[in-house]
């Protein structure tokens, strides 16, 4: 992580600009929580329940593949059926996915944001939440 900040500094990005840490594969445990706190980072994770984090999957996975249509529908279904809706939600999507996944979910982000705005949601950067 420290080496990553050294690389980001070359582009003018400081630790204050990027104070969050989302662990690889969204793994979370006490050890990760402890060391992120020790180095002054805020540990974050996506909110489960929508399968947005499955946008990396590829058709070759068979039943493990989640198409963009499936992910889109699951997000909207979650919003409709959860008593709290999606207030405060962190959707995880990947902007770099396997070339074998030609159905890139990130191409649906404008459509998703527009639909959620129609439903009364607004969007904020994480930094705006502090």
Confidence at residue 130, expressed as pLDDT on a 0 to 100 scale: 46
Note the pTM of the prediction, 2 decimals.
Answer: 0.81
Report the distance separating Cα 66 and Cα 105, nearest Å: 10
Confidence at residue 26, expressed as pLDDT on a 0 to 100 scale: 80
Burial (CB < 10 A; 0-12, 13-18, 19+), residue 81, is exposed
Contact yes or no for 51/58 (Cβ under 8 A): no
Report the distance separating Cα 44 and Cα 27, nearest Å: 10
Report the distance separating Cα 11 and Cα 122, nearest Å: 30
Report domain extents, the chain. 2-43, 52-129
Residues 6+ apart with CB under 8 A from 49: 78, 82
Report the distance separating Cα 90 and Cα 45, nearest Å: 7
Question: Tokens 């705005």 appear where?
Answer: 117
The sign of the torsion formed by the CA atoms of 107, 109, 112, 114 equals: negative
pLDDT string in tens for the chain (130-residue length): 889 999 999 999 999 999 999 888 888 899 999 999 999 999 998 888 999 999 999 999 999 999 999 999 999 999 999 998 999 888 999 988 899 999 999 999 999 999 999 999 999 887 644 4
Report the distance separating Cα 6 and Cα 11, nearest Å: 10
């Amino acid at each position: 992580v420290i080496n990553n900040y050294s690389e980001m500094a070359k582009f003018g990005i400081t630790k204050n600009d990027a104070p969050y840490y989302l662990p690889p594969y969204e793994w979370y445990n006490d050890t990760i929580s402890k060391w992120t706190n020790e180095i002054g980072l805020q540990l974050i994770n996506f909110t489960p329940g929508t399968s947005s984090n499955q946008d990396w999957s590829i058709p070759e996975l068979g039943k493990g593949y989640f198409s963009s249509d499936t992910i889109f529908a699951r997000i909207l279904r979650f919003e409709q059926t959860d008593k709290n809706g999606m207030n405060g939600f962190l959707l995880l999507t990947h902007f770099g996915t396997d070339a074998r996944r030609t159905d890139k979910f990130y191409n649906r982000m404008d459509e998703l944001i527009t639909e959620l705005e129609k439903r009364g949601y607004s969007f904020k950067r994480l930094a705006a939440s502090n």
